[in-house]
Amino acid sequence: MKLSRVLAGPIILAAAAAIGVVSWPRVSEKLLRHLEQRLGAETGLVWSIGAVDIDLAPGLALRDVSAREAGAATSGPPLLSVREATLTGDLSALLGDAGGWRASLGGVALRLTRPQRTSEPLDIAAAALAQPLPHLSALKAAARGVEIDDADAGALAARAEGLDLSGRFAPAAKMAAVDLSLETKTRSASLGFSWPLAEGAAKLVVAPRAGAGERVEATGTLSLDASRLRLAKIDGRVGDAPFSGDATLDLSSEPILVADVRASRVVLTDDSAGASLRVAPEVRQGAHVVTIEELERIDPRALDRLRLSATIAIEDLRIGRIRLGGVMTRTTAADRLVDVAIDAKSFYEGALRSRYTLTARDETRLVHQLSLTIGAARIGPFMADAGAGRLLDGVATSRVDVQTTGDTFAEALRTAQGRAEIALANGEVSGGGVGKTLGIPFASELLGALDDGSLTRFRKFGGSFTIKNGAASSNDLKFESKLVDAAGAGRADLVQGAIDFTFKARLSLAGKRIETPIRVHGPWRDPSVDADLDGAIGSSIDALGLGGALGKGDGDIGGMIDSLFSGGGRKRTGR
């Protein structure tokens, strides 16, 4: 008897297993249809499941799952396809009642037909976000190995190696806490909010993988009012750089993003260029860093879909080593045109105003236009920070109007054309700088000995320039000081960073005017100067009536000058 009772358990299990094997095809077929109907009721799509298995976890294993739009042809690719899926959790939840559930999907592919109108997917998203998720009180989704493929002009495709879902069904639920995350080869991102959207807290995190970029974190309140998606009271950081603001995305027939952003420091840098465009590590701390390379990756096609109105306030803006303070930028974008206005209250003791427009004329050509006005700024510190030395100082007023094409900075310089005007007042030429440039020993001491600054200080200096094919030419440069007047002409090569100007200087001595030519040429950061110093000094002696006394007629003056300036002349050429 005992043996029969011991054997009864395995016999009953074996019989139940045999019955299950015989009846499972009919059971699985009914289960498949029930799951397809349940998914269709929840999503509004037509679902197809190739096979289903059940285990004692309890759980379901699905294979070859696909979904299509109602009425879509079955011959084309599906909207959604899943190679395999495992569903676990409360059996009641799996069968449509209350409870928690989990799903692990592999080989996920999503294919969306490109909309005829830009606003179409946004309209669908707005409508979905405004309605409760059916019977859901919580939803988490994490996608791994995400890749986007937009090569097909008629469709947008996305693939994921895996997608993990979890949630909780509650028949009376009116709101769900949603936590979404995705991971690509270079970045991971997560977004948390409440669905349907109300005035609730939201959090966004975008993190780089393998050090590829800065980590972005932002919190705020997310709400949906009719067709307007609003993110208010934004407080976040990009790396260690803080920012704040508000943003509204209008999802109407012509979507537009309106944003108001505030940042403490923004740095524009080009680490591959000269020192003037490179930024020291301490300046980068706590700053939003943007590189020239990032700005050059402009896709003209993006301007077809972009409508934007943004105001950005920046306390401290650095363009390389150039400093601007109290900056307000206003940007609009629509109809393939981007318009940026910049107003800097602080620019080297003066102010700066600028307007920049970018237009996409066709699929490949970008047109840039820049208008720049500088008022009452100190030119010396600005030139030093720009890497052009500090030979000159003075109060500068300037205006530049230029147009160019190209999708890189170098191409834009080569095709630049327009006009520029610059005027310096109450300035000074560095005596030491003049001496070093001319290669004259003791020039700093000689020029500094003139207490009234007759040679080094000037009242006015400036002129106008015509810009064409990357070069700026002028024929009306003027220099006025107490003793010297000069008129000049020449050109500056904006691409090569070189200058070539010739000045006719007139020196006033003893009521006489003495003229001598001066040529300034070479790299603008370290130019050479050619001047006929011997002739100028000889003319000065003649004007003062001292030629005979010094024996100039016998050539002694030339020897005296050569003796005086011997050993100098690193850059002094000519006589």
Q: Which residues pair with 395 in a beta bridge?
A: 378, 425
Contact 341, 316 (CB under 8 A): no
pLDDT at residue 442 in the model: 41
Q: Given a cut of 50, is residue 470 above it in pLDDT? A: yes
pLDDT at residue 392 in the model: 80
In whole angstroms, what is the distance from residue 242 CA to residue 204 CA?
A: 14
Q: Given a cut of 80, is residue 525 above it in pLDDT? A: no
- State the burial class of residue 296 (Cβ atoms within 10 Å of its Cβ: 0-12, 13-18, 19+): middle
pLDDT at residue 18 in the model: 39
In whole angstroms, what is the distance from residue 461 CA to residue 481 CA?
A: 9
Residue 426 tokens read as 């109450």
In whole angstroms, what is the distance from residue 61 CA to residue 476 CA?
A: 84
Residue type, 52: V
Q: Given a cut of 60, is residue 131 above it in pLDDT? A: yes
Q: Given a cut of 70, is residue 132 above it in pLDDT? A: yes
Highest mean pLDDT among 9-18, 140-149, 349-358, 387-396: 349-358
pLDDT at residue 355 in the model: 96
Is the alpha carbon torsion for 564, 542, 431, 517 positive or negative? negative
The CA-based diameter of the chain, rounded to the nearest angstrom, is 150
Residue 316 tokens read as 């401290």
pTM, 2 dp: 0.68
In whole angstroms, what is the distance from residue 315 CA to residue 207 CA?
A: 26
Helices marked H in 44-118 — which ranges? 91-94
For the chain, the average pLDDT equals: 76
Sorted by where each begins, the domain ranges of the chain are: 6-167
pLDDT at residue 299 in the model: 64
Contact 344, 327 (CB under 8 A): yes
The pLDDT > 90 percentage for the chain reads: 21
Residue 320 tokens read as 């390389």
Residue 463 tokens read as 């002129």
In whole angstroms, what is the distance from residue 214 CA to residue 406 CA?
A: 28
Cα–Cα distance list, 417 to 239, 402, 472 (Å): 39, 5, 8
Going by pLDDT thresholds of 50, 70 and 90, the confidence category of residue 414 is confident
Mean pLDDT of 123-133: 68
Contact 271, 280 (CB under 8 A): no
Contact 488, 502 (CB under 8 A): yes
Q: Is the peptide bond before 196 cis (omega within 30 degrees of 0)?
A: yes
In whole angstroms, what is the distance from residue 450 CA to residue 438 CA?
A: 18
What would the pLDDT profile of 547-568 be if each residue is shown by its tens digit? 554 444 444 444 443 443 333 4
In whole angstroms, what is the distance from residue 450 CA to residue 252 CA?
A: 72
Going by pLDDT thresholds of 50, 70 and 90, the confidence category of residue 405 is confident
pLDDT at residue 437 in the model: 44
Going by pLDDT thresholds of 50, 70 and 90, the confidence category of residue 186 is confident
What would the pLDDT profile of 60-96 be if each residue is shown by its tens digit? 788 888 888 887 777 778 888 999 988 887 766 655 5
pLDDT at residue 8 in the model: 37
Mean pLDDT of 42-50: 81
Cα–Cα distance list, 123 to 162, 234, 251, 561 (Å): 28, 24, 6, 84
DSSP 8-state class, residue 375: E
Q: Which residues pair with 343 in a beta bridge?
A: 328, 353
- SS3 (DSSP) at 41: helix
Contact 421, 399 (CB under 8 A): yes
Contact 184, 146 (CB under 8 A): yes
Nearest residue to 483 (alpha-carbon basis) of 531, 433, 540: 540
